[in-house]
Amino acid sequence: MSLHMRLAGAGSPLSDASSYVLGMPHLSPNGLSENWLWKELGHRHWNLIAKAYGRAATGFGSVGDQPIYAAFRNISLHGGDLGGVRENDSLDVRSTITHLSETRVVSRHFAAYRDRLIADVEMTSVFVRRQAEGVNRSITRVRIEGTGSAEPSLGTMPSQPAYCGHETLAHDTCVDEHELGTTDITMCPHLDFNGAGLLYFSSFVAAVDRAEWHFIGKRSGHFSTRGRQARFHANIEVGDDITVRMFAAQDGAACRHRALLSASVDGKLLAEVMTHRTMS
């Protein structure tokens, strides 16, 4: 079954399809840039939400209230073949909202080159707003109402923007894993935070990549992503750094690791990321 058939119905208000001629912004030395892909799919996810609620121009929330954002709780990439594209290739991306409610949105994205799967991505977000202006640790979940207002969601957990709090990726730990170590990653507001002043979800993944490069070294540069899972629990303030604790499995032909990301200032768990890479 082709990718186009699997995504029958693209073009409806809850779907979108686009093509990209790949150039330097889209690429890394080993093929498609995973960091670019996450940012682009995050943008598509938000645009689909805006279309679904009919608020592409005005956004969410009432005038005078703190803005409402879609904060990612989970992201996953499967069937990755990011090393399968090169400069000037045409990448087709089809995106669909598969679940939409007042509290949660799930989107599915297929990226393909000549109908060959490059990445199958699922993204889950919840609606959040700050309780105190400019304080990321005050973020709480809210419910989007049909009229455009927002109310606190049941089970709200202040300073845990996503993300449903106690679920972890512990059941996905690598077989025969060993601890590689712990390293601190400096976060830069010009590179790692988004327009809402929050540490962007793709920056959590980038921090894991920096830690991988730190622990594994040049061997890491020959790998491309086959699979990635991340679960987000909290955010940080501008000026805070992240501590990455990494565990890896023994596998000479591949790179499999699990990372726990915490706030350097107080040790609060921010995210968990599972990664599977193979030689390009």
Confidence of residue 220 (pLDDT cuts 50, 70, 90): confident
Neighbours of 98 (CB within 10 A): 11
pLDDT for 200 beyond 60: yes
- Residues 7-52: pLDDT tens digits? 334 445 689 999 999 999 999 998 999 999 999 999 999 999 988 8
The structure's pTM equals 0.86
- Residues 124-181: pLDDT tens digits? 999 999 999 999 999 999 988 754 445 555 433 333 333 333 344 544 555 578 999 9
Q: Please report the pLDDT score of residue 157 as a whole number.
A: 30
Domain extents for the chain?
A: 3-279
**Radius of gyration in angstroms for the set of CA atoms belonging to the chain, rounded to a whole number:** 19
Q: Which two tokens stand for residue 119?
A: 């990445």
3-state SS assignment for residue 256: strand
- Residue with the two structure tokens 């540490």: 199
Q: Please report the pLDDT score of residue 65 as a whole number.
A: 78
- Residues 61-113: pLDDT tens digits? 666 678 889 999 999 999 999 999 999 999 999 999 999 888 999 999 999 99
Q: Please report the pLDDT score of residue 156 as a whole number.
A: 33
Q: Looking at 83-87, 115-119, 155-159, 241-245, which range is the least confident one?
A: 155-159
For residue 170, give every residue at least 6 positions away whose Cβ sits within 8 Å of its Cβ, in sequence order, or none.
Answer: none
For residue 217, give every residue at least 6 positions away whose Cβ sits within 8 Å of its Cβ, in sequence order, or none.
Answer: none
Q: Please report the pLDDT score of residue 155 as a whole number.
A: 37
Q: Please report the pLDDT score of residue 174 as a whole number.
A: 54
3-state SS assignment for residue 177: strand
pLDDT for 238 beyond 70: yes
Q: With beta carbons less than 8 A apart as the criterion, state whether 136 and 130 touch.
A: yes
- CATH code of the domain made up of 3-279: 3.10.129.10
